[in-house]
Structure 1
Amino acid sequence: MLNFFRRFRERGWQPMTAYDYAKLWHAFGGSVITHPDVVARLSELAQMPVRYLGFAQQGEWVCALPTWGRHLALSKAPLKRAGKRDLFDLGNAEVIVPLAPDAAVPMRHKLDFISELNQSGLNGLKVQKDGLMLAREPEQYSKKFRYNQRRELRLFEEAGGTLRPVKAHSAQALAAIYADLFFRRFGFAPKGAAHLPQVFGMLHEFMVGEVLYLHEKPIAIQILYRVEAPNWISLEYINGGVDPAQQALSPGSVLCFVNTQKAWEEARKLNKPLRYSFGRADKDYKNRWCERHTVYRS
């Protein structure tokens, strides 16, 4: 019976190799959660093998999908069923699958938060109730907003604050800083706390942003994963930690300003659009930084 349902779901789709999947991702693009190295490494951590599927038209691959059963690989539902819900955290990531520009592909697997970039080429999608929050371009903020953000950054630096790149820290150091500041902020451990050094080690090359220090002590961090596709940059803001004792310096706001500004600067140097996702449209503070975008599910 399970084989019957799989054959029905996969009709028109064909198994493909991880190598072919990676070729399509780098040809047509994708997002953090569908990046071939992210998929392979986190699937290995979860000990959940990936079934790569491709859809061909006129003898050429036009779409590819990494799957766990009937779900997109790295999805929360199969992790939960396997008792591995707290293994790693990718938030509510924007899903962009490798898809040729003029393709028309039936989507029968279970995917949430499918990007507007895929909407026209994947058949069978429905608008998802939850929107996705993507960071505005710097010019879309008001002059007053930008002035206030620069002022907060200046006051932070005058108080002895400094910025240090995430890349300058080891995976172990980042895990310790994030776990400590997350607990200080929320009073409980972050998702996947026990595996943070391992996950950060696997994804260290994709981690970007700054760590805020005050007098040599870290006071704010955001977990950001960035991948570069041929025609855009995908960046996911997963979560963060802030020392509430330093709230007078607005470290969370300062870090949002610094990280978004640097991400836009780098994207523009590469002449590529930036899809900087703050995840689900579920927090008021995201309205300050983002615009709501429609997403889809299948």
Structure 2
Amino acid sequence: MLSRLRAWREQGWTSIDADAYAEAWQRFGGSVATHPQVIERLAGLAGIPVRYLGWLEQGELKAALPTWGRHLALAKDVLKQQGKRALFDLGNAEVILPLAPDAQVRLRHRARYVSDLNSGRVSTLREQPEGLALAREPEQYSKKFRYNQRREQRLLEEAGGVIRPMQELSAGEQAAIYADLFQRRWGFEAPGKAQLAEVFTLLREFMTGSLIYLNDEPVAIQVLYRVEAPQWISVEYINGGVDPQNREFSPGSVLSFVNTQAAWAEARATGKPLRYSFGRADREYKDRWCNRVPVYQV
């Protein structure tokens, strides 16, 4: 029975190796959640092997898929089933599968937050009720909004605020600061707190953005991962933490402004579009920073 179900699910797909999957990602593009090294390292941490599949037409690879059983690899449902629910946190990351521009495939593995970029090439996708929040281009903010953000940043810096790159900190320092500020902001522990330092070590080369100090104490941090595909740059804003005692200086808002502006500047310097995802479009503050775009599921 199990093999019959798998045969139905994988109809049209062929088993490929990790190198072939990585090659497809480098050719066709993808996102943080489908990057070959992100998949390999986090799946290794979870101890759950990845089965890679390819869609071939006339012997040519047109699409590739990383899977955990009937789900895409790194799926929260699989972690939960295996008793590893909070092992790592990728939020509700945009899933861009490596598909050739002319690919036409069937996807029968369970998947959520599949990108609009894949929608015309996968026949089995249906739109999710909730959209995805993608950061607006700088020019799409009103002049008043940009003025207010720059003013908040100036006031914060005049009060002793310092903006530091995340990469200046060790993974252990990043984990300790994030866990502390997340707890202060939300009143409960950060997901995967026990493994944060290990996860940040594994994903260190992908971590980007800055954090904010006030009077030598960290007051705002955001966990951002960045990957560069041939056609675009993908940034995932996973989660963040802010010290509520410094709300008067709006450090969280200042950090969103600093991080998004820096990402846009870098993407434009490379001549590539930027897909800077805030995850599910489920909070009012995301509407201030983002456009809602369709997202799909199987």
Match of 1:204 in 2: 204
For residue 284 of structure 2, give the secondary structure of its aligned residue in structure 1: coil
| Cα distance between partner residues in 2 of 1:56 and 1:111 | 21
CA positional deviation for 1:123: 1.1
CA positional deviation for 1:259: 0.2
Q: Deviations over 1:71-123 (max 9, x none)?
A: 00001111111111100000001000000001101111111111010001111
Alignment of structure 1 residues 35-74 onto 2, 5 Å: 35-74=35-74
CA positional deviation for 1:24: 0.4
| Cα distance between partner residues in 1 of 2:138 and 2:126 | 31
| Cα distance between partner residues in 1 of 2:12 and 2:75 | 23
| Cα distance between partner residues in 1 of 2:287 and 2:295 | 17
Match of 1:169 in 2: 169
Match of 2:232 in 1: 232
CA positional deviation for 1:124: 1.0
Match of 1:34 in 2: 34
CA positional deviation for 1:187: 1.3
| Cα distance between partner residues in 1 of 2:87 and 2:181 | 19
Match of 1:107 in 2: 107
CA positional deviation for 1:125: 0.8
CA positional deviation for 1:23: 0.4
| Cα distance between partner residues in 2 of 1:237 and 1:220 | 14
Match of 2:153 in 1: 153
| Cα distance between partner residues in 2 of 1:247 and 1:296 | 36
Q: Deviations over 1:254-295 (max 9, x none)?
A: 000000000000000000000000000111100000000001
Aligned length: 298
For residue 259 of structure 2, give the secondary structure of its aligned residue in structure 1: helix
- Matching of residue 290 in structure 1 with residue 287 in structure 2: no
CA positional deviation for 1:296: 0.7
| Cα distance between partner residues in 2 of 1:113 and 1:187 | 27
| Cα distance between partner residues in 2 of 1:295 and 1:276 | 14
Unpaired stretches in structure 1, ≥5 consecutive residues: none
Residue identity opposite 2:91 in structure 1:
G
Match of 2:270 in 1: 270
Unpaired stretches in structure 2, ≥5 consecutive residues: none
Residue identity opposite 2:78 in structure 1:
P
Q: Deviations over 1:197-256 (max 9, x none)?
A: 000000011000101011111110000000000000110001000011111000010000
CA positional deviation for 1:8: 1.0
CA positional deviation for 1:134: 0.2
| Cα distance between partner residues in 2 of 1:211 and 1:141 | 23
| Cα distance between partner residues in 1 of 2:149 and 2:60 | 49
Residue identity opposite 2:77 in structure 1:
A
- Matching of residue 244 in structure 1 with residue 244 in structure 2: yes
For residue 64 of structure 1, give the secondary structure of its aligned residue in structure 2: strand
| Cα distance between partner residues in 1 of 2:148 and 2:79 | 42
Q: Deviations over 1:120-167 (max 9, x none)?
A: 111111111110000000000000000000000000000000111001
For residue 67 of structure 2, give the secondary structure of its aligned residue in structure 1: strand
TM-score by length of 2: 0.99
| Cα distance between partner residues in 1 of 2:173 and 2:111 | 34
For residue 117 of structure 2, give the secondary structure of its aligned residue in structure 1: coil
Residue identity opposite 2:73 in structure 1:
A
| Cα distance between partner residues in 1 of 2:283 and 2:83 | 28
For residue 101 of structure 1, give the secondary structure of its aligned residue in structure 2: coil
| Cα distance between partner residues in 2 of 1:178 and 1:42 | 19
Residue identity opposite 1:132 in structure 2:
L
TM-score by length of 1: 0.99
